[in-house]
Amino acid sequence: MKVTVIGKEFVSGTSKKTQKDFASNVVYISHKKNGVDGLAVDSVWLDPKTYPLTDIAVGKVYDLDRDSRGFVCGFEPAR
């Protein structure tokens, strides 16, 4: 799915549920969606080692791929 990055941030902390430390890059995106007049927005949590925040550009279009369980399996600049 083609998405446009409209914001990004690094988040880290300790999970209240599991008590384990976490770190993630959160990318805020806009995209087309059936039934929506205009664009829908969403946030995507990315592994900071696989998808460094410095490599993600606000305002650029990316191809977002998810597996059958909804987990991100690809986030690359669109061609």
pLDDT of residue 20: 96
Q: How far apart are CA 26 and CA 16, in angstroms?
A: 18
Query: What is the predicted pLDDT for the residue at 7?
Result: 98
> Taking CA 61 as the corner, what is the angle to CA 12 and CA 37, rounded to the nearest 5 degrees?
100
% of the chain with per-residue pLDDT over 90: 99
pLDDT in tens, 45-56: 999 999 999 999
pTM equals 0.90
Domain that holds residue 56: 2-77
Number of domains in the chain: 1
